[in-house]
Amino acid sequence: MDTTAQSSTSSKPTKGMPTASGKYRPYPQVDIPDRTWPAKTMTKPPIWCSVDLRDGNQALVDPMGHDRKARMFHLLMQMGFPEIEIGFPSASQTDFDFARWCVEEGNVPDGVSLQVLVQCRPELITRTFEALEGARQPIVHFYNSTSELQRRVVFAKDVSGIKQIAVDAAKMITDMAAKAGGDYRFEYSPESFTGTELEVALEVCNAVIAEVKPTAQNKLIINLPSTVEMAMPNVYADQIEWMCRNLDNRENLIISLHPHNDRGTGIAAAELGLLAGADRVEGTLFGNGERTGNVDVVTMALNMFTQGIDPGIDCSDIEHIKEVFEYSNQMNIGERHPYVGELVYTAFSGSHQDAINKGMKARKVANHPIWEVPYLPIDPQDVGRSYEAIIRINSQSGKGGIAYILQEDYGLNLPRNMQVEFREEIQRITDEEGKELPSKRIYERFIERYVSQPEGRIKFVDHHTYPDTVHKGVRIVAAEITDNGETRQIEGRGNGPIDGFVNALSSYLGVEMSVQDYSEHSLQHGSNAAAISYVEIVHAGGKLFGAGINTNIVTASLEAIVSAANSLLASGEVQ
> Measured between alpha carbons, how far is residue 164 from residues 142, 195, 456, 460 in Å?
14, 19, 90, 95
pLDDT of residue 345: 81
Beta bridge partners of 548: 533
Let me know: does 399 contact 419? Beta carbons within 8 Å.
Answer: yes
The predicted pLDDT at position 575 comes to 60
DSSP 435: S
User: Residue ranges of the chain with pLDDT lower than 70?
Assistant: 1-15, 348-350, 387-400, 524-528, 573-575
SS (HEC) of 71-115: HHHHHHHHHCCCEEEEECCCCCHHHHHHHHHHHHHCCCCCCCEEE
Please give the Cα distance from 187 to 223 (Å, whole number).
7
Single out the residue of 484, 413, 459 nearest to residue 555, CA to CA.
Answer: 459
Report d(CA 220, CA 214) in Å as an integer.
Answer: 5
Query: In sequence order, which residues have a C-beta less than 8 Å from that of residue 477 and are 6 or more positions away?
Result: 463, 464, 465, 491, 492, 493, 494, 497, 500, 501, 503, 504
pLDDT of amino acid 2? 40
Give the contacts of 266 (CB within 8 A, at least 6 positions apart). Answer: 226, 229, 259, 260, 283, 287, 292, 293, 294, 295, 296
Classify residue 28 by its DSSP letter. P
Q: Are 302 and 311 in contact (CB under 8 A)?
A: yes
Region for residue 330 given its phi and psi (left: phi exceeds 0; alpha: psi -120 to 50; beta: otherwise)? left
Q: Where are the alpha helices (DSSP H) in 106-216?
A: 122-132, 148-150, 159-180, 198-212
DSSP symbol at 46: -
Please give the C-alpha separations between residue 38 and each of 275, 308, 387, 495, in angstroms, as whole numbers. Answer: 8, 20, 37, 70
| DSSP codes of every residue in 376-406 | BSS-GGGGT--STTSB-BSTT--HHHHHHHH
* pLDDT value at residue 10: 47
Name the residue among 525, 524, 497, 500 with its Cα closest to residue 513: 500
Count Cβ neighbours within 10 Å for each residue of 344-364 and write b for 16 or more, e otherwise.
bbbbbbbebbbbbbebbeebe
Query: Contact, 253 vs 222, CB < 8 A?
Result: yes
What strands, in cross-sheet order, belong to the sheet with 531-539? Answer: 513-522, 531-539, 542-550
Q: Determine contact, residues 132/116, Cβ cutoff 8 Å.
A: yes
| Longest CA span, the chain | 114
* CB 224, CB 247: distance < 8 Å: no
Cα separation, 59 vs 61, in Å, equals 7
What CA–CA distance (Å, rounded) separates 259 from 270? 6
Q: List b or e across 135-171, with b for residues whose CB sees 16 or more CB atoms inside 10 angstroms.
A: bebbbbbbbbbbbeebbeeeeeeebeebbbbbbbbbe
Q: What is the pLDDT of residues 432-457, one digit of tens each?
A: 887 877 889 989 999 999 998 888 99
| Kind and range of the H or E run holding 323 | helix 318-329
Question: What are the residue boundaries of the structural domains of the chain, listed by start?
Answer: 40-47+82-284, 350-451, 458-570
DSSP 266-279: HHHHHHHHHHTT--
| CATH node for 458-570 | 3.30.160.270
Backbone dihedral region for residue 107 (phi beyond 0: left; psi -120 to 50: alpha; all else: beta): left
- For 304, the enclosing helix (H) or strand (E) is helix 297-305
Give the whole-angstrom CA distance, residue 391 versus residue 401. Answer: 6
Architecture of domain 40-47+82-284: Alpha-Beta Barrel (3.20)
Structure confidence at residue 468 (pLDDT): 80
Q: How many CB atoms lie within 10 A of CB 225?
A: 20
SS3 140: strand
